[in-house]
Structure 1
Amino acid sequence: MSKFQAARCIGALTAACAALPLAGVAFAASPTVKVTDPWCRAAPRGALAGGCYLTLTAAVDDRLVSVDTELADHAEIHTMSLDGGVMRMRRLADGIALPAGRTVQLKPGAEHLMIIRPKAQISAGTSVALTLRFAKAPPLRVVAPVKAVGPMQGRH
């Protein structure tokens, strides 16, 4: 191999090695969240709140920090827990952690989305548009069908 060929080979290897860190950036997981099975529970006329549920899977560690809907004054992220034999609901001001690649289910009797003071009745057969906001991923608009109240009536 001539000195010229060796110099070209070394130059090419140097350029390839310098580009490796950039390749890692190009293939790093982007902050996206997948939403499956969204739904809201029908609420009787005059109800002051309603519950919505869904399943979230984040590509990277993220956090659901808030939810918006045009259907109500505002919406919140809540959890329910047993306290001295009594189910208690409380707002999760810091939202819900979404570990990378793990499924987080918002469901009745646990973490869920709370629609506060709906402007219209949340009726079976309709849908509720929600905008989910995350710490890292861009906002995500979800349309959740409303299902009739079932055997867990009264639990959000």
Structure 2
Amino acid sequence: MSRALLLSLAALALAACSPAAPTDGDDAVAKVQVADALCRPTPVGRQATGCYLTLTAPSDDRLVSVSSPAAGRVEIHESRMESNMMMMRELKEGMALPAGEVVELKPGGNHIMLLAVTEPLKAGDTVPLTLTFASAPPVEIAAAVGQPALTDTGHAAH
């Protein structure tokens, strides 16, 4: 074999054995970005409340579940008008996150429901949430507890 070919093969072998380039996170898989996480305070005598946030996935993905030590159960819900009534139902298959699109969970739309809340949530508290996705690694956040901003009409911002 020629000397040049041997040197090329040696360089390829060394490159194959070298550690991967460092990444900015735990995994090479890009994480879903989470912003503006907010949970409403629990009404007196109630053990359920809604949480809102925005999600941006780097590639097509799906929010498949949410968990929190602050609640016995956490569900992803959809709100929609049916027969002039606002209806809410669990999205058992989770919620689609199209690549690069900001997906907003908000009052009157898709949102997270905390059920069987273990301790009343008061404004100023934080709620730990773990968001689990079909492809991206889980994301742990601390959602602030407070009221969503109101619009000029006095309704919660959508």
Aligned partner of 2:88: which letter?
M
Whether the 8 Å CA contact 1:71–1:119 is kept in 2: the answer is yes
User: Map of 1:18-37 to 2, 5 A cutoff?
Assistant: 30-37=29-36
User: Matched residue of 1:47: which SS?
Assistant: coil
Q: Which residue of 2 aligns with 1:77?
A: 76
Q: What is the distance in 1 between the residues matched to 2:47 and 2:69?
A: 15
Whether the 8 Å CA contact 1:32–1:60 is kept in 2: the answer is no
Return the TM-score normalized by structure 1.
0.77
Shift of 1:152: 4.5
CA deviation string 1:75-123 (max 9, x = no partner): 0000100001000000000111001111100000000000001011111
User: Map of 1:130-149 to 2, 5 A cutoff?
Assistant: 130-148=129-147
Q: Which residue of 2 aligns with 1:23?
A: none
Gap change, CA 1:148 and 1:106, over 3 Å in 2 = closer
Q: Which residue of 2 aligns with 1:45?
A: 44
Return the TM-score normalized by structure 2.
0.76
Q: What is the distance in 2 between the residues matched to 1:112 and 1:98?
A: 14
Whether the 8 Å CA contact 2:29–2:137 is kept in 1: the answer is no
User: Matched residue of 1:122: which SS?
Assistant: coil
User: Matched residue of 1:137: which SS?
Assistant: coil
Q: Which residue of 1 aligns with 2:23?
A: none
The alignment status of 1:128 with 2:127, answered yes or no, reads: yes
Shift of 1:31: 3.9
Aligned partner of 2:128: which letter?
A
Whether the 8 Å CA contact 2:51–2:112 is kept in 1: the answer is yes
Q: What is the distance in 2 between the residues matched to 1:43 and 1:141?
A: 21
Aligned-residue RMSD, C-alpha:
2.6
Q: What is the distance in 1 between the residues matched to 2:125 and 2:50?
A: 14
The alignment status of 1:61 with 2:60, answered yes or no, reads: yes
Count of aligned residue pairs for this structure pair: 137
User: Matched residue of 1:50: which SS?
Assistant: strand
- For the pair shown, the structure with the greater C-alpha radius of gyration is 1
Q: What is the distance in 2 between the residues matched to 1:36 and 1:131?
A: 14
Runs of 4+, deviation exceeding 2 Å? 148-153
Aligned partner of 2:50: which letter?
G
User: Matched residue of 1:56: which SS?
Assistant: strand
Aligned partner of 1:127: which letter?
T
Shift of 1:47: 1.0
Whether the 8 Å CA contact 2:47–2:118 is kept in 1: the answer is no
Whether the 8 Å CA contact 1:73–1:118 is kept in 2: the answer is yes
